[in-house]
Amino acid sequence: MTDQKHTGDVELDPSDEVEGEYDDGAGGFTIVEWDGSQPPEDSVDACQGEGDIFEGGATAAKRGWGPGWPHCQTAMMRTVVVNDTLKLSVHRDIAPLVWLLCSRTESKGYALRSGQCWGFACRCIRNSDEPSNHSWGLAVDLNSLANPMGSTLVTDMPSWVPQLWKEFGFRWGGSYQGRKDAMHFEYMGSKVEATSVVKSLVDKPAGRSGRMPRGASGLPPGHVYGPDAGNRASWHDGSESAQTANAVEAISNAVPGAARTRRYTVELQASVKAWQRAAKADGSDVRTDGVVDDDTWQALVRLCRRRVRASGVPSPRP
Ligand SMILES: [Zn+2]
């Protein structure tokens, strides 16, 4: 249950458990059960430390998210592990989205600093008795020191950061009319919209082209996947396993034109070989024998990543 490693393909049906490793080709992210952490409070007043603005009638509860503070749904929280020192806890139905946005934010050049980023917090809005979006796990605070709350906007974020998050349905606290809260991003979509956005990120109508191998942080060193005949679709010890079948399925999902399979058939080998030749002609340093080693695996991960990126940024809001 905890920290389960997925070696199969990504099928982000939000009704499934979302815990697992995800790979963006740049280090990877993991979603685990909520680690129980909440932001530090600098006051005994439970309603201190939050700047988001309550808009009457627009609460997350009315968008299908159920109750927030003080009846916080801790069972719905999951922790997105960005790296060893940076974790964000959010509602499970936006966890893959937050993972993706953190990934894009960092890969585009804005680093997220540990100790300055938080998500879920069971609290109300400062100076009010209205629940904060943090209390639903629908808000995150990013790089709090350089993006403090105050009457004037103070931020070190390039404009593309709030723009990127906005495209996925997150409102930026830096654009509040009154008090500015530049560290703060809150998901403004409904639960139904979140489900559909997360699904659209990885499950394009065109088929499997948007899916990314999960657990693709690399094969064991020296390990290869190849045709059944050579008994190479196996791990180090030569034994067949569910992990092997999942990995083979991920490969078949990723390779253009390949039929989905959990056994490394000669047909899959032919598809891999055809793709490897094209990839090599395109400059990738991969073998061309239809066997998937670490180089080919990583090239497939990069391919999937490009597909996800090319699939566009689905906007949950018109
Ligand atoms: Zn906040």
pLDDT the model gives residue 243: 61
Separation of 185 CA from ligand 1 center, angstroms? 7
Task: Give the model's confidence band at 20: pLDDT under 50 very low, under 70 low, under 90 confident, else very high.
Answer: low
pLDDT at residue 263 is higher than 90: no
Separation of 64 CA from ligand 1 center, angstroms? 20
pLDDT the model gives residue 204: 32
* Contact of 157 with 110, CB cutoff 8 Å: yes
Alpha carbons within 13 angstroms on the beta-carbon side of residue 120 total 30
Question: What 3-state class would DSSP assign to 271?
Answer: helix
DSSP string, 1-58: -TTPPP-SB----TTS---EEE--SSS-EEEEE-----PPPSSSSTT-S------TT-
Instruction: Write down the residue that tokens 């690399």 correspond to.
Output: 218
Question: What 3-state class would DSSP assign to 204?
Answer: coil
Separation of 52 CA from ligand 1 center, angstroms? 6
pLDDT the model gives residue 306: 61
Edge-to-edge strand list for the sheet holding 20-22? 20-22, 29-33, 77-83, 86-91
Question: What 3-state class would DSSP assign to 185?
Answer: strand
Task: Give the model's confidence band at 307: pLDDT under 50 very low, under 70 low, under 90 confident, else very high.
Answer: low
Separation of 141 CA from ligand 1 center, angstroms? 5
Separation of 163 CA from ligand 1 center, angstroms? 17
Separation of 55 CA from ligand 1 center, angstroms? 15
Separation of 142 CA from ligand 1 center, angstroms? 8
pLDDT the model gives residue 166: 92
pLDDT the model gives residue 252: 79
Separation of 158 CA from ligand 1 center, angstroms? 18
Separation of 180 CA from ligand 1 center, angstroms? 11
List of domains in the chain: 34-196 (3.30.1380), 219-310 (1.10.101)
pLDDT tens column, 223-259 = 567 765 344 444 333 445 556 666 777 777 778 888 8
Separation of 213 CA from ligand 1 center, angstroms? 32
Separation of 67 CA from ligand 1 center, angstroms? 18
Separation of 14 CA from ligand 1 center, angstroms? 24
Its pTM stands at 0.59
Separation of 181 CA from ligand 1 center, angstroms? 7
Separation of 139 CA from ligand 1 center, angstroms? 6
Separation of 125 CA from ligand 1 center, angstroms? 9
Q: Which residues surround ligand 1, an ion (CB under 5 A)?
A: 141, 184
Separation of 4 CA from ligand 1 center, angstroms? 29
Separation of 226 CA from ligand 1 center, angstroms? 49
Q: Which residues contact 62 (CB under 8 A, 6 or more apart)?
A: none
Separation of 51 CA from ligand 1 center, angstroms? 6
Separation of 42 CA from ligand 1 center, angstroms? 14
Separation of 147 CA from ligand 1 center, angstroms? 11
d(CA 51, CA 54): 9
State mean pLDDT over 9-34.
54
Separation of 270 CA from ligand 1 center, angstroms? 51
pLDDT tens column, 128-174 = 778 889 999 999 999 989 998 888 999 999 999 999 999 889 999 99
Separation of 78 CA from ligand 1 center, angstroms? 17
pLDDT the model gives residue 242: 59
